[in-house]
Amino acid sequence: MSSEWEENILKPKIYATLPIPTDVEKFLSEYCEVRKWIGEDRISRETLLQDIKDVNGLLTSGIRIDDDLLENAPNLKVVSNVSVGFNNFNIEAMKQHNVIGTNTPYVLDETVADLTFALILASARRIAELDRFVKDGNWNPTKDDQLVFGLDVHSSTIGIIGMGRIGEAVARRAKFGFNMDVLYYNRNRKPEAEEKYEAEYCNLDSLLERSDFIVLLTPLTPETEHFIGEREFALMKKSTFFINVSRGKTVDEAAMIRALENKEIYGAGLDVFQKEPVEKDNPLLKMPNVVTVPHIGSATKKTRDAMIMRAAQNIVSALTGKGAIDSVY
Ligand code: 8YV
């Protein structure tokens, strides 16, 4: 009967760059020797490259997986993202090094759709701005309260760019929760969504011209970098709100700032930014008609726990060859 020490020698080694709940660590330890970054701050690139020299699996999120890292980890077989987005993967390099890449789809769809609607409601009804207004003691008796008027969400038109699973969850809330007309633009038609939510497929320009709320939900790829820029903002109505819950770089942020400053659009709700954390002097942070949150799309305990368990299952399946995995290529 081999000792635990011998068993650990036999087990594949994995490295986690983010905190792991106890039940997930227990699950992983059954199959792997688990090593983890225990520093207070985000792990530095230098330390990471040092620590993963002999590991077989990497459990992470947002870390750039490129040739440099892969050269440094010759035994690496799998990188498991605790996120549905995988723009941090250099897929060609991973293929070259025969390293599997996995993500965490499905488990966050509803949570991200909730946050999307929170940004729609908060920007249209000026929740963040008026919360500050009240807390700063500016609420005084007035004859006419037009000062605090917002715009209606119910019965308006939503335009969803990127009708994937999260897009459909947003469409469902829009149709059945807010009696909104649903327009969508996507690489391919979604007959089911058209059926279920009376979602109207239209070309990008038509969606941009007709929508009261434009929701960007495309993954970040070389094709979608700066997908929304000067030309697209110029097509939008002056009463339109722009909502970004995808990635900061799918938008030309400078063009968005100009569109807001020139009142080409009415406001925005942003979960993601070109640079994260966003720079303290970013003009967006000074605009009362822009609601900003720190990339919290999937940030509920229940959903993040589900994401990290799914990522753990992916890494074990990839290393043991047993069970399904959410491979991204
Ligand atoms: C992640 C996300 O939490 O899943 C994604 O693609 O953007 C979020 O759910 C984020 O990537 C963490 O860095």
In the prediction, which pLDDT does 145 show? 86
CA distances 259 to 68, 157, 314, Å, are: 38, 20, 42
pLDDT tens digits along 194-232: 999 999 999 999 999 999 999 999 999 999 999 999 999
**Closest ligand 1 atom to the C-alpha of 103?**
4
Domain 2-107+301-320 and domain 109-292 have a common topology? yes
- Dist. CA 120–CA 80, nearest whole Å: 32
Name the residue ranges covered by the structural domains of the chain.
Answer: 2-107+301-320, 109-292
Which residue among the candidates 173, 295, 304, 310 is catalytic per the annotation? 295
Ligand 1 lined by 297 (C-beta under 6 Å): yes
From 26, 42, 24, select the one nearest 276 (Cα to Cα): 42
The fourth-level CATH superfamily of domain 2-107+301-320 is NAD(P)-binding Rossmann-like Domain (3.40.50.720)
Ligand 1 lined by 248 (C-beta under 6 Å): no
Annotation says 25 is catalytic: no
What are the tokens at 170?
A: 């947003």
Residue with tokens 């709100």: 241
Print pLDDT tens along the chain (329 aa). 456 555 555 799 999 999 999 999 999 999 999 999 999 999 999 999 999 999 999 999 999 999 999 999 999 999 999 999 999 999 999 999 999 999 999 999 999 999 999 999 999 999 999 999 999 999 998 888 899 999 999 999 999 999 999 999 999 999 999 999 999 999 999 999 999 999 999 999 999 999 999 999 999 999 999 999 999 999 999 999 999 999 999 999 999 999 999 999 999 999 999 999 999 999 999 999 999 999 999 999 999 999 999 999 999 999 998 878 899 99
Question: Edge-to-edge strand order for the sheet containing 57-60?
Answer: 33-36, 13-16, 57-60, 78-81, 100-102
Ligand 1 lined by 164 (C-beta under 6 Å): no
* Ligand 1 center from residue 139 Cα (angstroms): 37
Q: For 109-292, CATH number?
A: 3.40.50.720
Q: Helices (H), strands (E): how many in the chain?
A: 14, 12
